[in-house]
Structure 1
Amino acid sequence: MQLSLQTRNALRAASPFQTRRTAAPPCLRIRACTDPPAEGILPVPAGLRAESLPHHVAMIMDGNSRWARARGMPTSAGHAALQPALEETVRLSCARGIRVLTAFAFSHQNWDRPKEEVDFCMAVYNRFIQDNVAQFLRYFLFLKLILRPDNFSNRYKINFMLLAFSMPCSMNMMVSSACCKSETHYQGEEILMFCREGIRLRVIGDCSRLPTYLQKTAQNAEEETSSNSQHDLMLAIGYSGRTDILQACGKLARKVHSKLLRPEDIDESLFADELQTSWTDEFPCPDLLIRTSGELRLSNFLLWQSAYSELFFTDTLWPDFGEAEYLQALMSFQSRDRRFGKRKL
């Protein structure tokens, strides 16, 4: 199924943004380890500790319609404004080294909205994925190597610098000069390498209800980004936390019925493995859950996974959520004492 001409024109007309941001950094050659970080690599602001940032951040992107109404614009303009705000959030998450971002775009209950609005939302999500797949593949892992002769041995000193979307780290190691083609071939030479270890995308929720064109776009994007390993982006469309729990129970019940599993062997770990967020492996549960627009509820989002999440609510409407608001949420997260039910002596 292709988007109708009316929907495509509405998407184009509704967008309040004349230009789109480019998330991927240019391929720059860094001249020395003491140089400023390349574009796309953000220094850690004062008061923010890089070592204690959340691994997984979940976002409830709320307030698009209210944002549009406040500006005398149609509801569709608010939904169209979701995309640039989400793109900026993805960029900032990568820049801070946040491993997983889960964005709640459309709930199971949202299917009850007017068909015209639902169709427009589906078109927005489709466009977001199509517009950004290339960017997801272009998040580079920069590796710079500088070989210099060591004055005290017949070896070369290698300084290599790993630049991802976090603070650069520099490291030195020694190798025998025999590893080099000649004593002068690599002397002082800088070698810039990059690996395609960008963003891996996954759409979670009841995908069977999505339009055929969106299912195809999501499937293609998931396949194209499946080898990426630097960051995970989960886009929740038609998602329900209760349904996620029910489908996990159903999977375990079928395994018990097939005698692949004993009921007494079921524990929290096995149950969590059946949830849709288990796809992200290391960090399936959000450390920090952010909701915009001033609403103070989870709205059926990641109910099991957010048991120990730190919650942050902001009055900012989603299209206005940017770097300052994200930084405020991260600072709040770092001010929390996360005990997980234990008592610190």
Structure 2
Amino acid sequence: MQKTRRRLAAALCALVAGLGATAAIAQSYPSKPVKLVVPYPPGGPTDIVARVIAQRLQTQTGQPFVVENLPGAGGNTGAAAVARAAPDGYTLLVATTAHAINPSLFKNLSYQFGKDFAPITQLTSGPLVVVVNPALPARTVPELIALAKAKPGDLNFASSGNGQSTHLAGELFNATAGTRIRHVPYKGSAPALTDTMAGQTQLMFDTMLSAMPHVKGGKLRAIAVTSAQRSPAAPDLPTVAESLPGFEAIAWNGLLAPANTPREVLAKLSTELRTAMEQPEVRERFEAQGFAAAWTAPEAFAGFIHAEIDKWAKVVQVSGATIE
């Protein structure tokens, strides 16, 4: 009996000590620089979002938040590095829509997106915009669908790469509208837009940040946005869903930590990020890129991620897309 009591007492002491240590870690976090891994090259939309957030978090916490770009393999190189990092809150991943697509698209990922990360919060949410070459005789979504059905397989759409949201949004459009617009992948948004403007490809689903300057310059025509509601950045543009009910393809960014990061650290980060994204200057920087600030609690973000994984898995299956 005495041995049992001693064991229980020892276990209780260990539990209390562990809780105390965890609380102390959370209270002092962050006590050194925090790395935000952006799995894409510098200068893109995700990199810009990360740097806005990093600057604000540094101001709030007094500790450096450093952006590190680890591009490669459609965002998988950086994601794999964070999945292997110590679960202490000092190495975080700035994830995108592509990371919810990749589990269905890549056959041999070295990490599991739905299991190897602890969601912290969504950062941004924004539509893609459907842009066409001005010579294309389609000014609305119904006209584009009619043209594609009249010439099945003749039209093609450019994307910033296999598996990117700019690719799968087009495949979702095909599946929803019953069209056969062929996919032409590029290595980045810039060359894809260049060929669309030149008429080598007829249309593209791209971020507003990349595409709208060319629309304003008269080199492309915008016909719709891919969000469920119209975008405040272009309120006169209809949504695809106004012609194809239920269609929605948004580009998003979110922040994740390695799995098993202490809950108290995740909660601290979530609170700091909520404060950051309530700042007018942060919202204005996001809106300038066609994004809206989209803070969510960790549990809600986890549910959103799993819904996105399921949604895009169906699109990948219908499209037949795959990457070794």
TM range (shorter): under 0.3
Q: Which has the higher helix share?
A: 2
Larger radius of gyration: 1
So what's the TM-score if we normalise by structure 1?
A: 0.22
| Structure with more relative contact order (C-alpha pairs < 8 Å, separation 6 or more) | 2
So what's the TM-score if we normalise by structure 2?
A: 0.23
